[in-house]
Amino acid sequence: MVLLKKKYLIKIPSSIKFFYCSTTKFLLLNKNKNVLLKKLKVQPIINKEKRYIYITNSVFTKEISQVNCREIEISEIKQLIRQLSSIIFKKLILKGIGYRSILLFKNNKTILQLKLGYSHPIYINIPNNIKILCPNFNNLYITGNSLESINNIISLIRNFRKPEPYKGKGVLYEYEKIILKEGKKV
């Protein structure tokens, strides 16, 4: 076998199972109940005993340049491995009079109820791969494996009540500081 460069070698942790289907060109990564799929654009060399994937130069389609595609594939596979092997969490703070968050459980679904100063409560369905904790009415802890899905939920929640620069009310990140503007002087 040809000497493999370490630059294009991806080591898979022992806690993650991986499979490659050469007909469909899908790489499947599995840890516990979390499964991630990646359609590869480059031909890999897989060694299951030593637990590594080597990304080669041969591209499946001719429209893609080899150099960029190889680098992109490596970074995307490494990101999938990071998502499976770590748990990410972010904290949101509801700041304002009457702002509340309540978790509801109906038919094996988690629903987040938000009261953000509107005349009606806001209901958000939470996906199964994300967990939300509400230790009190004003704090939300959002955890999960995928940074993208966590950021999607956070941006959805923040779009209902963005931080206001005059009173400082709204949905804030944990360490976000708002510089208050001065109001009108009479």
Are 6-85 and 88-173 equal in CATH topology? yes
Q: What is the CA radius of gyration of the chain?
A: 22
Strand partners, 47: 52
Average pLDDT of the segment spanning 79-87: 82
Tell me the CATH class for 6-85: alpha beta
Q: Domain 88-173 belongs to what topology?
A: Outer Surface Protein A; domain 3 (3.90.930)
> What pTM did the predictor assign?
0.66
Q: What is the mean pLDDT of the chain?
A: 85
Compute the half-sphere exposure of residue 88: CA atoms within 13 Å on the CB side of its CA: 15
> Going by C-beta distance under 8 Å and a sequence separation of 6 or more, which residues neighbour residue 69?
41, 42, 59
Q: What is the pLDDT of residue 116?
A: 93
Q: pLDDT tens-digit profile of 22-32? A: 888 888 888 87
Report whether 114 contacts 152 (CB < 8 A). no
Domain ranges of the chain: 6-85, 88-173
Q: What confidence tens digit (pLDDT) does each residue in 7-47 have? A: 778 888 888 888 888 888 888 888 877 778 888 888 888 88
Q: What is the pLDDT of residue 64?
A: 55
Q: How far is CA 170 from the centre of its chain?
A: 23
Q: Assess whether pLDDT exceeds 60 at residue 113.
A: yes
